[in-house]
Amino acid sequence: MTCRILRMLMVAMAAVLAASPMAMAQRKAQPPISLRLYVLDCGKLDIPDVTPYQLKKEDMATTVMSVPCFLVAHPKGTLMWDVGAVPDNAIPTGGTGRLRGYGTSTKTLKSQLAEIGYMPADITYLALSHFHWDHVGNANQFAGATWLVRKLERETMFAEPPSPRTEPANFSALKNTKTVIVTDSDYDVFGDGSVVIKSAAGHSPDHQVLFLKLAKTGPVLLSGDLYHYPEERKLSRVPTTEFDASQTIASRAAIEAFLAGSGAQLWIQHDFTGNAKLKKSPEFYE
Ligand SMILES: [Zn+2]
């Protein structure tokens, strides 16, 4: 075989390998030059009854809630923000995983991370907006990350008996994980002001939201469950099931003032219509 033919063969083989999903999955992501935000599909919630949200079906665009997970990739490391409702091991290949009857998911978080070159074991930090079951589904996969959590939220998660609003088995591995107890109202994850966890208590004892300063997109705030439906914000409705409704009202006022001051967009995580318009991984915001 001539050298030229050999070279042509090698080029062809490399092209085939690069195009295969296997090769895609095995390609390990390199730290980005600037901050990136990936929106991952962690399913949806078909809320059976919206009366606890002080809303009427007829006043709403939809009663369905989106369940996104977020990967923040910073030059100095990565942060997972909220990890879904249905754990990956409850999602059958090619089928639908279900939790509590109305939480469903068709894609595993692990496969979506693999598609962009990450494995749960590679993730530097884990932060949850709060402890409710629809935000902690895959927490056990991130037990190798450093967990950024506030005191009351962690205490609530490991209280006996456990809160009926969560699924303790889905985050049990966090109990002994490397943990940073966040005490400041604002916690600057990478030290450059581009990724800041902000206290916004009320929905749960130490509920929090995430501020991101993206170079091209501009500032974005991920809501956690400060609001669930956009109609709650528009009509100033506070759910009856809040941990502390007066705290929620105060947190909403503080965050609204922050949004006005910073010019950040608010992404309401459970807003099904808003979420449907967002670019999904492997695309990203930067
Ligand atoms: Zn929620």
HEC readout, the chain: CCHHHHHHHHHHHHHHHHHCHHHHHHCCCCCCCCCEEEEEEEEEEECCCCHHHCCCHHHCCCCEEEEEEEEEEECCEEEEECCCCCCHHHCCCCCCEEECCCEEECCCHHHHHHHCCCCHHHCCEEECCCCCHHHCCCHHHHCCCEEEEEHHHHHHHCCCCCCCCCCHHHCHHHHHCCEEEECCCEEECCCCCCEEEEECCCCCCCCEEEEEEECCCEEEEECCCCCCCHHHHHCCCCCCCCCCHHHHHHHHHHHHHHHHHHCCEEECCCEHHHHHCCCCCCCCEC
Distance 34 CA to ligand 1 centre (A): 29
Distance 171 CA to ligand 1 centre (A): 16
Distance 285 CA to ligand 1 centre (A): 23
pLDDT at 70: 99
Q: Does the structure show a pLDDT above 90 at 57?
A: yes
Average pLDDT over residues 264-283: 98
| Cα–Cα distance for residue pair 121/251, rounded to 1 Å | 33
Average pLDDT over residues 208-221: 98
What are the residues whose beta carbon lies below 5 Å from ligand 1 (ion)?
Answer: 134, 225
pLDDT level of residue 227 (50, 70, 90 thresholds): very high
Q: Does the structure show a pLDDT above 90 at 61?
A: yes
Distance 27 CA to ligand 1 centre (A): 32
pLDDT level of residue 26 (50, 70, 90 thresholds): low
Distance 81 CA to ligand 1 centre (A): 13
Average pLDDT over residues 159-169: 97
Distance 275 CA to ligand 1 centre (A): 14
Distance 30 CA to ligand 1 centre (A): 31
Q: Does the structure show a pLDDT above 90 at 42?
A: yes
Distance 271 CA to ligand 1 centre (A): 10
Distance 134 CA to ligand 1 centre (A): 5
pLDDT level of residue 15 (50, 70, 90 thresholds): low
Beta bridge partners of 99: 103
Distance 220 CA to ligand 1 centre (A): 19
| Cα–Cα distance for residue pair 59/232, rounded to 1 Å | 10
Distance 189 CA to ligand 1 centre (A): 23
Q: Which two tokens mark 184?
A: 């400041």
Distance 79 CA to ligand 1 centre (A): 19
Q: Does the structure show a pLDDT above 60 at 197?
A: yes
Angle at Cα 282 formed by Cα 277 and Cα 283, nearest 5°? 50
Distance 133 CA to ligand 1 centre (A): 8
Q: Is residue 43 a contact partner of residue 103, using CB atoms and an 8 Å limit?
A: yes
CA dist 187 → 146, 198, 227 (Å): 14, 6, 21
Q: Does the structure show a pLDDT above 60 at 21?
A: no
pLDDT at 180: 98
The share of the chain scoring above pLDDT 90, in percent, equals 91
pLDDT at 27: 82
pLDDT at 9: 64
The predicted-structure confidence for 105-152, as pLDDT tens digits, reads as follows 999 999 999 999 999 999 999 999 999 999 999 999 999 999 999 999
Q: Does the structure show a pLDDT above 90 at 13?
A: no
Q: Does the structure show a pLDDT above 60 at 178?
A: yes
Nearest residue to 89 (alpha-carbon basis) of 111, 65, 67, 116: 111
The predicted-structure confidence for 201-210, as pLDDT tens digits, reads as follows 999 999 999 9
Distance 186 CA to ligand 1 centre (A): 21
Mean pLDDT of the chain: 94
Distance 135 CA to ligand 1 centre (A): 6
151-155 contact pairs (CB < 8 A, 24+): 151/181, 151/183, 151/206, 152/201, 152/205, 152/206, 153/128, 153/204, 153/205, 153/206, 153/207, 153/208, 154/179, 154/181, 154/206, 155/205
Tally Cβ neighbours within 10 Å of residue 55: 18
